[in-house]
Structure 1
């Protein structure tokens, strides 16, 4: 076996809370061996000159439904591969293929496809899938198909949990009957339990947190807010999320789902625990006017975002994570914090190991940007 030793030189290196200049990342056999000053690069390492720019860990997307016209609800290996190739070209080296609510048998079919291809060479790393539903509130369903929504206590989850080894995360509405018990089951199976598309109150979230729920999907989207009962104000899921001390939380940073004020509020309330997700759809990369499907439903790309055909709700984004970085950077966030939102924080939220950081022992997955945060190239396991 040929041993590959390479020193990456040229760009600034984003390593956790530091931006290192005049340093090199040493890569050995697909892993990061060290970060050293240029003068300390070993003589037996070949140098790969990357030029000026910004080198980050490969991007991590834990909530994404598809790209390039294909999606993960299709249950088709060719479609999955096409979407995954589009992610890798956009700098995403680790992701959770995400399925929206669908008939249970269709979700099972999609899980089986994910399982069959997740170790394929030349595709992003897949620890498992994210099931976004079907245990959601009808009142906060957004673009989720109302015909496919279920209750956590109706027995249907057993068919899904027969494939627990393929599931990394499941989102559910904490107020539904059986939600606490389902949370306990997920945690016992090492599946991340997340709250989403929920019309509950803060106490519903707290009850599932006590059972082990640790994550909240797309803040401000599909979340109840404060209501009044007589003179009393009862906080909703949004306020409980923003006030939390431990939860990791997602934000769709496409500049469409949330205006700058709301994105700034989320970043201020959730430092070190807010991660960017694309929530992208098969419409990602398609021009305005294009139509795309998820399950049995058809949606529209309009003004750079996915919408339902009646234009009453967003239907996921059409923007991938690397394209979100320049948008979010305009909100005053520092470079290291911005990159963490797309690398180490989502990796932590989904409990992904050895990805999301430029650090010794981690996979040599990288994204290279220019100074304007436009993606230049990507590496997976040291292969550019």
Structure 2
């Protein structure tokens, strides 16, 4: 089977969907029946591009202000997608929100419905384009892959589709996420003056949906001695609406108890995750919650909200809070610091839970969906 995959998102710094696509492509490459053609926005390739680091562009904010910029970019992408594509492509897989036009069988991956539940988390121009294009894409796709049963069920209800149109393909944790010895972490941690299991960690793009402000406020409420011993470190890009929690962030930074590490290379992220006392993930909505799985696979306990798809990922291994429960988050953080037996129990439970997920399994389910869409 020749499969066309829209891999344009891999040209940008990789966050959730980018990591999903990169790992999926690598795992699908082991299937001898599949031949992958990757569309990278300007043309076609058979090789996975290297991850890029973020860089500020003065042009991007200006383009967002131009009426019709999303539509113009879409038109250009469609032309490039059609140009140079092999005539023997059997199926097109769109791994993000809306497929490009393709006359043959199409599969799409619907990671979440964030735009529906939390429209304020999207820039206005992008939200309008999602609302215009997504319904068309859903109708175009023969099958719709989702990362979780939660997203499959809410999409069935929202679009009025039957369950036979959906295939749940849970994500996996990359091989770089595994338990590490304290000695192996020193090179990355020591320049920041922290020790293994000596800090709390948040991972994710800094945007309102991730609810970082709750983590900042909860950390501020901890006793002074705990804040000094266990600073809060934040990994991720600034996002599009950082000003929504700038007061909390600036105050915490000024106090020296919170540190922004920014966007880091993948291997460094894995080391920081493995070295944390706990991952704090207070997101209000996730279609899966990949950092939760990656932390558990690394032997790091997780504090998270009992919202959306996240209980499917963490199972009984999670330390659950409500998304607005400041005191509950403070208590969960203190418990993981002060009770070593509890910390160890959470660590072992997370390692066992993480074994239920893998990119090999995700790829196998995806390949089966390809064959199903083609009538095999």
Q: TM-score of the superposition, structure 2-length normalised? A: 0.30
Instruction: Name whichever structure is richer in helix by fraction.
Output: 2
Determine which structure has greater relative contact order: mean sequence separation of CA pairs < 8 Å that are 6+ residues apart, divided by chain length: 1
Instruction: Name whichever structure is richer in strand by fraction.
Output: 1
Q: TM-score of the superposition, structure 1-length normalised? A: 0.29
